[in-house]
Structure 1
Amino acid sequence: MSLTLHLKSCPPSVIRGLILQKKPNIRNMSGMAGAAGQRPAGVVLLHRSLAPDFEKFCQANRGPLPLLGKSEPGRWALPALGTVPDTRVDRPRFHKYEFGACTGSLASLEEHAEQLKDMVTFFLGCRWSLEGALEKAGLPRRDPAGHGHMAAYKTTVPCITVAGFCCPLVVTMRPVPKDKLEKLVQAICSMEGEQGQPIHIGDPELLGIKDLSQPDFGEPEVCQPGDVPVFWPSHLTSLEAVSGCKAPLAFTSAPGCTVMTDLKDMEAPAGCLTPEKIPEVHCISQDPLHYSITSASAVRKIRELETIIAVDPGNRGIGHLLCKDELLKASLSLSHAHSVLITTGFPTHFNHEPPEETDGPPGALALAAFLQALEKGVSMVVDQRALSLFKTLVEEAVEQGVLKAQIPVLTYPAGSAGAARTFLCGDGGPRAPRFDHLVAIERAGRAADGNYYNARKVNIKHLVDPIDNLFLEAQKIPGISSTGVGDGGNELGMGKVKEAVKSHIRNGDVIACDVEADFAVIAGVSNWGGYALACALYILNSCEVHARSLRKAAGPSRAAGEESWTQALPSISKEETMLGILVRHKIRSGVSGNVGMEVDGLPFHDTHAQMIQKLLDVTTVRL
C-alpha cells in the first residue's frame, strides 16, 4: 500500500523517517511502474557546501540525472514524497562514501543523524516505464515479478564537468529484437518524452563497454540471436559523481533501490511526442553495429534534399542509379564521425593544364566548411601532380571566406602492400584509425580492368593516383565508413551501383567504377551532392532528437554553435566565389571544356544558383 506524505504539515520526526528508520521505505523498483502520477527517485546526500555545484552538475547532465527536487539542509525529504513499503528489509538501502571510496552499505543512516543536519538530499528521477513500453511494443517483460535489477555499465563517455564533479556516464542496457527497435523507441518516448530516448543502439564497445556479461551494477542479460543492445542513461551516474568528488562524507541510495515520489522534473517535464519529435532508427554500420536516431521531420527534409539533387540535366539516365535514403544514411554516419577524409579531382581534360574540371572541388570544400563548423577533423587527399593546385585552392578559399580555416591537403604515396592501411591508421593501428569516414565527390574511380575512364571512354589512368585503395582498405577496418558522390557512374564509390551503370549509362560497360562506398549519393551534378550533404548535416544537428543521441544526453539541449552552422552552409555568394577561384586557375567545365562560370556545361546563375537556393529553402525551415 502506498503512502503519500505532505511533509509541510508533518512533524520533524516524520520528515526524518525516510532517512533514519532502520527499515526505511526504500525498495528495489527496477522494472516497476509507480502509481499514477508517481515517479521513482534515487537519493543522494551531500554536504551543503557541495550542493550548489551538484545541482549545476545535474542540470548540465539532465539525461542521466533528471533532478526531481532537493531538500533544505537537514530536512532530508520533500513535500509530496510518497513511499512504497519495503518487503525485503534485510537488504542494505544506502551506500556510504568517504573521500570517494564506498566504505559501507547501510540499512539506516540513524548513526549519522548529526552529520545529516548539514546535508542536502537530492532526488533524481529514474526511468521506470521501459517494461511498460516493451509490452506496448509487443515484447516480453524482462522480469515480470519486478525483482531483478537491470544491468548497468560504466562507459568511457564523459559527463559535462562542473567544479569537482567529473565522472563517466553510466548506462542501462536491454536487448531488443532488431525488427522491434523503432517500435520500442517510439513507445517509450511516447511515455517519457525525451527522457525515454536511448543514447546508443549497437556495439557496446562504442561506449567503451568491453563485456556485457560483466555489468558494473545489477544482473546481466544475454543478447539472443537477432537482438540488438539498446542503452539508456542511468541515474547510477550519480554514484560515480559522488565517488569522483571525493567528499569527506556522502550517501546514496543503493543501486536498484528507489523511493516513489509525486514530484515532476524540476528542470523540464517530459514532453509529449509531438510529430516533429517522433524518433526513427536507422542502421548506419554493420561493423561495428551502429544505429542512429533522428526525428521523422528531419528524415522527411533530407529525403526532400535527395529528390531535389536527383534531377538529370544531362539526360545521363542517373535515375536508374538511385537508391533510397543513401543521402540520409551517409549524413547520419558523417554526423557521428570525428575525422573525415575528403577526396576529389576528375582530370577529364587530359589535353589541358590543369586537367581538372569545375565539378567536384566546390562540393568538396562546401562539405569541408560545414564539417569545420561542427568541429570535426577534416583533411583532403588529392593526386600528387595536383597537390600544389589544391593547396592554392584551399588557401584562396580561406582568404575569400569559403572556408573558415585551412585544412590539410595530403597525397597518397601508394607502393607497398600495406600503404593504404598505414595511411588510414598511422601509428594507431586498425583499432584507432586517423579517419572514421571517407568521402569522394566527383573523384575518378577505377574500372574493373584497373583503368580510369572519362565519360567518353578515354583512359586517364596516367593522371590518377590509386586513392581507390583507401576505400578498398577501409572496407576491412571496422569503424571506417565511406561515401561516394557521383553523377555518371565512373566516380569513386559508384561500384555500389555498377550493375545499373553498366545497364543504363552510356559506355557504362567500360567506364563503370568497380570500387564501392558504403553509401552512394547520386546527383545530377556531383557538386550538388556535396551541398546536400552539408545541408543534411545542418538538419540533423539542428534536430533535438538526433542531437541528444550525439551528446549521449549530456550537455545543453541544443548546441551553442547553431548560428555558425547557418553561416557555414553553402550559399549562392560563396559558391560563386569558389567557382570564380577555379576559373582564375583555368579549371574547365566538365562537359563543354569552357573556362568560365559553368559546371558540366550548365551556367552558374541559371542552374547552380537555383539549385543551391532550393536546398537552402528546405534546410533552413525550422523543424
Structure 2
Amino acid sequence: MTISFLLRSCLRSAVRSLPKAALIRNTSSMTEGLQPASVVVLPRSLAPAFESFCQGNRGPLPLLGQSEAVKTLPQLSAVSDIRTICPQLQKYKFGTCTGILTSLEEHSEQLKEMVTFIIDCSFSIEEALEQAGIPRRDLTGPSHAGAYKTTVPCATIAGFCCPLVVTMRPIPKDKLERLLQATHAIRGQQGQPIHIGDPGLLGIEALSKPDYGSYVECRPEDVPVFWPSPLTSLEAVISCKAPLAFASPPGCMVMVPKDTASSASCLTPEMVPEVHAISKDPLHYSIVSAPAAQKVRELESTIAVDPGNRGIGHLLLKDELLQAALSLSHARSVLVTTGFPTHFNHEPPEETDGPPGAIALAAFLQALGKETAMVVDQRALNLHMRIVEDAIRQGVLKTPIPILTYQGRSMEDARAFLCKDGDPKSPRFDHLVAIERAGRAADGNYYNARKMNIKHLVDPIDDIFLAAQKIPGISSTGVGDGGNELGMGKVKAAVKKHIRNGDVIACDVEADFAVIAGVSNWGGYALACALYILNSCQVHERYLRRATGPSRRAGEQS
C-alpha cells in the first residue's frame, strides 16, 4: 500500500480519535499506531527537485510521501487538512521566514498549486537512551533538544543546497557501544549516528549555542554523539528561495500512520555496529559493522605469523590494524614513508621489505581519492622515483605521487614541513604512515637487527612523527616486524623484553597505531585490504559521508 493512499485513507479516523492537543508533539513523542512527521509545502514546480533532494539525502530527510497540498490529508469543509492537523506552520517568502500561521485559509488558492511532503521524524533518541539504560539529561531551556547547523553540505540537487542540521546527545564514554546496539535494535542503520566526538569536526563552534532548541549539557566523562536532523528541511526551504513555502516549526509536527515496513526492513545482522576511538585530539570515534570488523581482525591474525621466530607475537596489540584503517578511512591527505638501509655492501643499501607495501597502500589511498605523498631519504630519492615510475607503467598507480625529502634539524623545521606556513591549525597531512622505516632508538641512533648503527644513512624523518604528536588533527601509524621500525615506540617495553637486542635497537618514537606483521610488506598490504573492507561496509560508508549524498549498495566500491 502506498504512502499517499495510507495518508488519504487512514489518517481521517486516526486524527479524529486523538484529542486536539495531541496533534502537536515534540520530536520524542510517539502515539500507538501513529508516528511523528514534519511537513514541507512547496510550489509544484519545485516538487520534483525537492523529492530528488530528499532521496539524495535520506539520512536527514527520510521522505514518507508526497501529494497535492489540497489532497494530502482528508478535507474538513473546504479547507486543507494541513491547517487542521498542524495548527502551526512557518511561512517562508523567498527564503525568509515571515511568521508562524495557525490557519492557511487565506492561502487556499495558492495551495492548489503546491505539493506537500511528509518527512519521517519517528526515530526517537530518547527511546534508544532508555533501552540502553542511559538516563536522560535535562534541557537547559523549555524547548526541544538542541539542533545545530554544520559545515557539512548536503548533496546539492537542482537548486536545493543547504548545510546538514544535526541533533546531539551527550553519552558517557563507557556506554557508547551499548547505545549503538540500542539504536540498531530500534531502527537499524537509519538510527545510527553520523558523528561521535569533537563538534568542531562538523564545524560547530559551541555546543552551548544551538541554532534550534535548547542545549543538552555535556559532562567531563561524556562524548557528544550526533544524529542527522529533519530540521535540515528548513535549511532546504530557505535555500530554494521559493516565492511561497510552508514548513513545520522546530519541535512541532503532525502525526501520520506508522510506516512499519521501512523500519523492519533495515534490521539486518550485517548492520550491527561497533564503535572505535581513532583520535584523542580532536576526539573522534568511528563505526563499522561487526562482520566487517571481524574480517579485519582475521586479516590482523594472518599477517601476525612470525616466519623468523623473532617473538613478534609479544608485540601484538588488539585491533591496531582496524583502528589504523578506520583513521586512514577518515583522512583526506596521507604521507607515507619507508626505507631501511641495512645492507651495507649493496647500492642502494635498502632492503626490499617496505617499498612494495608502501606502494600498495599508496595505490589504494589514491584510488579512494585521497591526497597521497611519500617522504624518503635524500640519498634514496632516485630509487623511489624509479619505483613509482615502474608502478605507473604496470598500472599499480594511476598517476605519479609526490616524493618528498626531509633533512630538517629541529622541531620547528618539522612543523614547517607538516603545516602550511608553520601554522598547526593548517596541517598538510592528517595521517602519517611508516612502513618498515628505520626508527630512532633511545640513544638517538638507528640500528638494524644486528645492533649495527646506521644513523649516517638515515634522514631525521622521525622528527616529523614527533612533531605530529603535538599538532591536533594528525594521526600516525607505524608498521614493523622487529621493533626497531619507526612507530614501534608504542610497544618498546615489549620489544626490550622479548626481541633479540631489543634493549638497544628498540625504536623510541611511537605512532598512534602500531601494526605488527611477520613481514612489514604484509602490514602495508593489510592496510590496503582493510581499507577495501571498510569501503565495502555500508555502516561505515554511511558514517563517513554523514548520511548525506547517495548511498552505495552492499559490496559496491567507490
User: Deviation digits for residues 427-476 of structure 1, max 9, x if unmatched?
Assistant: 37211211000000000000001011111111111110000001001100
Instruction: Rate the CA distance shift 1:377–1:560 in 2: closer, same or farther, 3 A.
Output: farther
Structure 2 partner of 1:381: 375
Structure 2 partner of 1:71: 67
Deviation at 1:73, TM superposition (A): 4.8
Deviation at 1:282, TM superposition (A): 0.8
CA distance in structure 2 between the partners assigned to 1:296 and 1:76 by the alignment: 41
- Cα RMSD for the two superposed structures: 2.7
TM-score, structure 1 normalization: 0.83
Alpha carbons 2:8, 2:72 under 8 Å: kept = no
Deviation at 1:50, TM superposition (A): 0.1
Deviation at 1:272, TM superposition (A): 4.3
Q: Share of identical aligned residues, percent?
A: 70
User: Deviation digits for residues 381-435 of structure 1, max 9, x if unmatched?
Assistant: 0011111111111011101112121111011130354111111112372112110
Partner residue of 1:151 out of 143, 146, 149: 146
Structure 2 partner of 1:59: 55
Structure 2 partner of 1:436: 430
CA distance in structure 2 between the partners assigned to 1:440 and 1:171 by the alignment: 36
Deviation at 1:24, TM superposition (A): 9.0
User: Is 1:232–2:230 an aligned residue pair?
Assistant: no
The unaligned stretches of length 5 or more in structure 2 are none
CA distance in structure 1 between the partners assigned to 2:193 and 2:9 by the alignment: 40
User: Deviation digits for residues 154-202 of structure 1, max 9, x if unmatched?
Assistant: 0000100101000110000011111111111110121111110000001
Deviation at 1:113, TM superposition (A): 1.5
User: Is 1:30–2:23 an aligned residue pair?
Assistant: no
CA distance in structure 1 between the partners assigned to 2:553 and 2:358 by the alignment: 24
What aligned pairs does 1:497-512 form with structure 2 within 5 A after superposition? 497-512=491-506
CA distance in structure 2 between the partners assigned to 1:193 and 1:516 by the alignment: 38
Instruction: Rate the CA distance shift 1:96–1:8 in 2: closer, same or farther, 3 A.
Output: closer
What aligned pairs does 1:156-555 form with structure 2 within 5 A after superposition? 156-264=151-259, 269=263, 271-427=265-421, 429-555=423-549
- 2:44 alignment partner AA: R
Deviation at 1:133, TM superposition (A): 1.4
- 1:274 alignment partner AA: T
Partner residue of 2:89 out of 84, 89, 94: 94
Alpha carbons 1:26, 1:93 under 8 Å: kept = no
Partner residue of 2:37 out of 34, 41, 47: 41
Q: Tell me which moved more, 106-115 or 466-475.
A: 106-115
Count of paired positions: 545
Runs of 4+ more than 6 Å apart: 81-86
User: Is 1:110–2:105 an aligned residue pair?
Assistant: yes
Deviation at 1:59, TM superposition (A): 0.2
CA distance in structure 2 between the partners assigned to 1:558 and 1:6 by the alignment: 29
Alpha carbons 2:10, 2:257 under 8 Å: kept = no
Instruction: Rate the CA distance shift 1:183–1:10 in 2: closer, same or farther, 3 A.
Output: closer
Instruction: Rate the CA distance shift 1:9–1:327 in 2: closer, same or farther, 3 A.
Output: closer
Instruction: Rate the CA distance shift 1:131–1:7 in 2: closer, same or farther, 3 A.
Output: closer
TM-score, structure 2 normalization: 0.93
CA distance in structure 1 between the partners assigned to 2:243 and 2:125 by the alignment: 36
Alpha carbons 1:45, 1:120 under 8 Å: kept = yes
2:265 is paired with a residue of what secondary structure? coil
Deviation at 1:349, TM superposition (A): 1.0
Alpha carbons 1:443, 1:491 under 8 Å: kept = yes
Instruction: Rate the CA distance shift 1:390–1:78 in 2: closer, same or farther, 3 A.
Output: farther
Deviation at 1:148, TM superposition (A): 4.4
Q: Tell me which moved more, 213-222 or 106-115.
A: 106-115
- 2:54 alignment partner AA: C
1:324 is paired with a residue of what secondary structure? coil
Q: Tell me which moved more, 121-130 or 24-33.
A: 24-33
